[in-house]
């Protein structure tokens, strides 16, 4: 049974230290906005739509998340307690436990929040604060426990005594509350402090005074509670998430030659016994098959790569590549391309919105745009699929077993039938029949003595 009724994500802060025109939670970590990571975690622990408290640059967050979440609007940023207050209309219609989490901690794991909820449920706590142990807790609020080991209070660093500052257990800004107890305690919250804000940590104190049971749950991994307030922290969290992602792939049977210089986004899937060299960037929902080799410095985005395929120093975008195919170096596979099995795509080849059948070869220095290439076709060096007439794109079709010589222009729309040959240097504008040879170039003419006559003419003009 899922014990978490709803998750409230606090994302209304201005994030002034980011020095950016973007909302803080819209900055990206491993390819996705910070808020995306937190929302995904929320979706894993509760069946209800998360509630995102927005304020500063709310439109950016709404445009990105759309209908995946519910929104509560904090017009004035009057503290974390006030942020929960604006979510009250949702909470009043809900029973059970609510998890309140900051929107700027993308490393937080769903399993950690689930354990916190279970800890609250099994211990009959009305409130549980998530905590972590830091060797250097400077600047963080301290968790002060009573003799029974329960949470006595949370003391901010600036208010802590010297003895309290020796405590290494810190408050993480993630909580689990019994909703009814939370709502009752919010009624007693005030802003009588130097900042004039309503602090969520004061709810803990109010509950304690009212006799509610309050506890703290320690996460084993202090890294997952790291918040982001600056670009430096953004980079630090990015590095830690990359390490987490890369470790998961290595534990699943993928070899990363240099994990510190391999960039893999969270949704990428990689088959076992694949070897990835440094400098590779794998983005979006890319799927890499088994026993592949990704040599250094490729970027692959939202693409499907088959088994035993080798890629070297190339860009592949929104495309599909089959088994035992080789790509690169320096190939550019643009969106909408579907490349078959045992295909050779060589150096400085550009493919766009085209299909290439099994066993075909586009070995070097060619452009295939809006083309359909059959099986066992050879595309010679320097071939260009001329697909654009200045107004519209047109498609060229090359059927099975055709041979296209070097430096050929195929002026689309045009069809090259099965087994046809195109002579090097030809410009083809009409259909080529099956097994025919097409030659579309001027006959060679040699003019004997032309160079000498030109030089004499040039000298004569210079004497005038």
Task: Write out the catalytic residue numbers.
Answer: 364
| Gap between the Cα atoms of 293 and 257, Å rounded | 11
Taking the CA atoms of 398, 401, 402 and 405 in sequence, report the sign of the dihedral they define: positive
CB atoms within 10 A of CB 253: 12
Residues 6+ apart with CB under 8 A from 391: none
Alpha-carbon distances, residue 308 vs 282, 301, 305, 351, 356 (angstroms): 17, 19, 9, 21, 18
């Amino acid at each position: 049974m899922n014990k978490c009724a709803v998750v409230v994500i606090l994302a209304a802060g201005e994030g002034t230290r980011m020095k950016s025109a973007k909302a803080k939670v819209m900055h990206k970590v491993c390819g996705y906005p910070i808020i995306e990571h937190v929302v995904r975690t929320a979706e894993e622990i509760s069946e209800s739509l998360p509630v995102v408290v927005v304020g500063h640059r709310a439109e950016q967050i709404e445009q990105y998340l759309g209908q995946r979440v519910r929104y509560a609007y904090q017009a004035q940023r009057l503290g974390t307690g006030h942020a929960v207050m604006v979510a009250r209309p949702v909470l009043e219609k809900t029973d059970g436990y609510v998890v309140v989490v900051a929107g700027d901690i993308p490393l937080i794991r769903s399993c950690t929040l689930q354990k916190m909820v279970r800890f609250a449920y099994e211990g009959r706590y009305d409130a549980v604060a998530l905590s972590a142990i830091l060797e250097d807790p400077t600047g963080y609020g301290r968790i002060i426990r009573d003799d029974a080991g329960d949470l006595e209070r949370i003391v901010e660093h600036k208010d802590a005594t010297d003895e309290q500052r020796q405590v290494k257990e810190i408050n993480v800004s993630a909580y689990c509350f019994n909703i009814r107890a939370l709502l009752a305690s919010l009624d007693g919250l005030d802003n009588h402090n130097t900042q004039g804000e309503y602090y969520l940590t004061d709810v803990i104190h109010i509950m304690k005074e009212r006799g509610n049971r309050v506890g703290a749950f320690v996460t084993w991994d202090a890294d997952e509670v790291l918040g982001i307030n600056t670009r430096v922290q953004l980079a630090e969290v990015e590095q830690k998430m990359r390490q987490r992602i890369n470790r998961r792939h290595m534990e699943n049977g993928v070899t990363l030659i240099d994990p510190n210089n391999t960039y893999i986004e969270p949704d990428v899937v990689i088959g076992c016994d694949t070897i990835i060299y440094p400098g590779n960037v794998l983005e979006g929902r890319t799927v890499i098959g088994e026993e592949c080799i990704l040599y250094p410095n490729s970027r692959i985005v939202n693409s499907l790569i088959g088994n035993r395929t080798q890629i070297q120093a190339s860009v592949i975008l929104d495309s599909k590549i089959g088994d035992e195919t080789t790509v690169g170096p320096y190939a550019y596979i643009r969106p909408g391309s579907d490349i078959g099995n045992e295909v050779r795509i060589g150096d400085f080849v550009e493919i766009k919105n085209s299909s290439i059948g099994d066993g075909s070869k586009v070995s070097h220095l060619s452009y295939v745009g809006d083309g359909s290439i059959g099986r066992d076709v050879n595309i010679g060096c320097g071939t260009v699929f001329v697909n654009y007439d200045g107004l519209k794109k047109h498609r060229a079709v090359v059927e099975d077993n055709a041979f296209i010589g070097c430096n050929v222009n195929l002026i689309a729309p045009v069809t090259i039938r099965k087994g046809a040959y195109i002579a090097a240097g030809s410009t083809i504008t009409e259909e080529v029949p099956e097994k025919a040879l097409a030659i579309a170039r001027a006959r060679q003419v040699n003019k004997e003595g032309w160079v000498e006559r030109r030089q004499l003419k040039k000298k004569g003009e210079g004497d005038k």
